[in-house]
Amino acid sequence: MYEQFYGLREKPFSLTPDTEYFYRYSGHQEALNVLLIALRNGEGFVRVTGEVGTGKTLLCRQLLKLLQDDCATAYLPNPLLTPLELYQAIAHELQLGLPPESSVQQLHQGIFAELVRLKELKRPLVVLIDEAQAMPHRSLEAIRLLSNLETEKEKLLHIFFFAQPEFDQRLAEPNLRQLRQRITFSYRLSTLKRKELPAYLNHRLQVAGFKGQLLFAESAIRLLHRASLGVPRLINLLAHKALLVGYGKGIRKIDHKMVAAAIKDTPGLKIPHRHILPPYALELSMVMLVAVTTLLVWGALR
């Protein structure tokens, strides 16, 4: 709709987790470092948690991209699986070609045989489970039991959980203590810092084909961060709507009024009260408050 108007090849702020748009802001870079170090150290279980919209699925897919040359991988985007379906999904990802009627035990044996073969090729298997907080208890136990497939000196299987913070609460349950004790590396995803937002916006615009200067004015960026609290999904949603507003008005530079319009159009979000004040208004208000207080005190003492 507005791509040609802004000189873009495609929409830069889509909510689809496209690895081409992956931006290594501090939170995602630190998470990647933790995951890669854990894998290098041969750790069996690792978890990455983060609030809704912090980019867990995008991080998961980026990790898949990084591992594809050195590891065998199994990506499970749907955690609502029975133990049988879980093993079937892993077998399917590994292209084992086992009969559809295979039992849990047969699938278990087939996966183990593949793990041994991969070990000889020096290609560890990494299973990445997205939205792990929704995985049934029996399936979490099944993945723990699968991790018992290891040699005396090293693990043949590495399991990375990507989940919302509710996953931590589930792991605190007594019946999951064995799994909890096996998770040796953890990381909690942070949101984008204010100083990281201009580079984030610019990165996505450039990937989408933009050639000019940053489209967003400083006031727009400031309001965008306050309203979104640095959550990437909300940033993308508001930035996309602000571009639509600019397109509708025929204005290429996005200002805070356009971002404000985007906020008003988004259920659950409100324009931060602090931003309603013009620049320096807060500081001026403090000065005036001090001045009035001083006058009142001086008048009382006369």
Sheet containing strand 125-130, strands side by side: 72-76, 125-130, 157-163, 45-49, 183-188
Total Cβ atoms within 10 A of residue 186: 15
Tell me: the pLDDT tens digits for 245-266?
A: 999 999 999 999 999 999 999 9
Q: What is d(CA 232, CA 57) in angstroms, rounded to the nearest whole number?
A: 12
CATH architecture of 26-188: 3-Layer(aba) Sandwich (3.40)
Between 154 and 180, residue with greater pLDDT: 180
Tell me: the pLDDT tens digits for 196-248?
A: 999 999 999 999 999 988 899 999 999 999 999 999 999 999 999 999 999 99
Q: Averaged over 53-57, what is the pLDDT?
A: 95
pLDDT at 292: 41
Within 152-216, residue ranges assigned H as helices are 166-171, 177-182, 197-207
CATH 1.10.287, domain 3-13+193-280, yes or no = no
Tell whether the model's pLDDT for residue 184 goes beyond 70.
yes
Q: Does 3-13+193-280 match 26-188 in CATH topology? A: no
Going from N- to C-terminal start, the domains of the chain cover 3-13+193-280, 26-188
Burial 191-211 (b: 16+ CB within 10 A, else e): bbeeebbeebbbbbbebbebe
The C-alpha angle with vertex 55 and arms to 133 and 266, in degrees rounded to 5, equals 100
pTM for this structure? 0.85
Tell me: the pLDDT tens digits for 82-133?
A: 999 999 999 999 999 999 899 999 999 999 999 999 989 989 999 999 999 9
